[in-house]
C-alpha cells in the first residue's frame, strides 16, 4: 500500500485471511460454498476473488453446457459479501440488500468461473460493491454487478463471525496445557 492509499492506516478485522494462501479459510464457514466447490483465490483490503471450478452438476443448459445462472449469482453474491467482510474494521453481520447483475454473454462452457468484487464505499449502515465474473480475463467479464449490503443486519452477530470465534476458542483450548497434566 502506498502513502496515498486510503486503506494504509486502516485496521481490518479479517486481515489474518488476506493473501492467497490464507483466503481459503474464509470459505470454511459457509457450507453452501463448500458444496459448490468454491475456492478462494485472493482476499485483501476491500476486495475478494473466488473461483468456482467447472462441474457438470452446475450446468443449466445441457445442450450448450452453460452453467446455471443461479450458480453465477451465488458466486457473485458470495464474492461481494466477502469483499464487504474484508472492508470491516470490526466484524458485523451483513445482509445483501440489492444485487443487480448484468449478464453480458454466456459463460464459456467447461470453464472455471472467477468472481472478483471490490467494496468501494461504506457508510455507517450500507456497503457498496462492484463485482464481475469472468473465465480468465478480468477485462472480458460475462457478468457485471453492483450491490449494496446492510451493515449490522441483526444483533446476533454474523454466522461467519460466530464460527470463526468458536474455531479460535477451540484452537486456543487445544493449545493450552491440560489442568491435570504433570508439571
Domains of the chain with bracketed CATH: 15-171 (3.10.129.10)
Task: Kindly report, residue by residue over 25-71, the tens digit of the pLDDT.
Answer: 878 888 888 899 999 999 999 999 999 999 999 999 889 888 999 99
Say whether pLDDT at 133 is over 80. yes
- pLDDT at position 118 is 98
Q: Which residue intervals of the chain are DSSP H helices?
A: 20-23, 31-36, 69-85, 159-175
39 vs 21: which has the higher pLDDT: 39
128 vs 23: which has the higher pLDDT: 128
Mean pLDDT of the chain: 85
The DSSP bridge partners found for residue 40 are 50
Interatomic CA distance for residues 49 and 144, integer angstroms = 14
Say whether pLDDT at 167 is over 60. no
Say whether pLDDT at 151 is over 90. yes
Interatomic CA distance for residues 104 and 118, integer angstroms = 19
User: Which letter does DSSP use for residue 68 in this model?
Assistant: P
- pLDDT band for position 166 (cuts 50, 70, 90): low
- pLDDT at position 71 is 94
Q: Which residue intervals of 123-158 are DSSP H helices?
A: none
DSSP string covering 116-131: EEEEEEE-SSEEEEEE
pTM greater than 0.85: no
10 vs 136: which has the higher pLDDT: 136
Whether the CB-CB separation of 153 and 93 falls below 8 Å is answered with yes
- pLDDT at position 2 is 52
- pLDDT at position 14 is 84
- pLDDT at position 158 is 56
Amino acid at each position: 500500500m502506498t502513502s496515498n492509499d486510503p486503506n494504509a492506516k486502516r485496521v481490518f478485522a479479517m486481515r489474518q485471511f488476506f493473501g492467497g494462501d490464507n483466503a481459503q479459510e474464509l470459505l470454511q464457514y459457509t457450507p453452501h460454498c463448500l458444496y459448490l466447490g468454491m475456492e478462494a483465490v485472493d482476499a485483501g483490503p476491500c476486495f475478494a476473488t473466488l473461483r468456482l471450478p467447472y462441474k457438470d452438476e452446475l450446468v443449466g443448459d445441457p445442450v450448450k453446457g452453460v452453467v446455471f445462472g443461479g450458480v453465477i449469482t451465488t458466486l457473485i453474491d458470495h464474492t461481494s459479501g466477502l469483499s464487504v467482510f474484508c472492508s470491516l474494521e470490526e466484524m458485523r453481520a451483513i445482509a445483501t440488500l440489492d444485487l443487480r447483475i448484468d449478464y453480458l454473454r454466456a459463460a464459456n462452457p467447461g470453464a472455471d468461473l472467477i468472481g472478483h468484487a471490490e467494496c468501494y464505499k461504506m457508510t455507517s449502515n450500507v456497503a457498496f460493491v462492484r463485482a464481475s465474473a469472468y473465465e480468465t480475463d478480468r477485462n472480458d467479464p460475462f457478468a457485471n454487478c453492483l450491490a449494496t449490503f446492510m451493515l449490522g443486519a441483526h444483533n446476533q452477530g454474523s454466522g461467519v463471525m460466530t464460527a470463526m470465534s468458536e474455531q479460535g476458542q477451540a484452537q486456543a483450548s487445544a493449545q493450552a496445557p491440560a489442568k491435570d497434566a504433570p508439571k
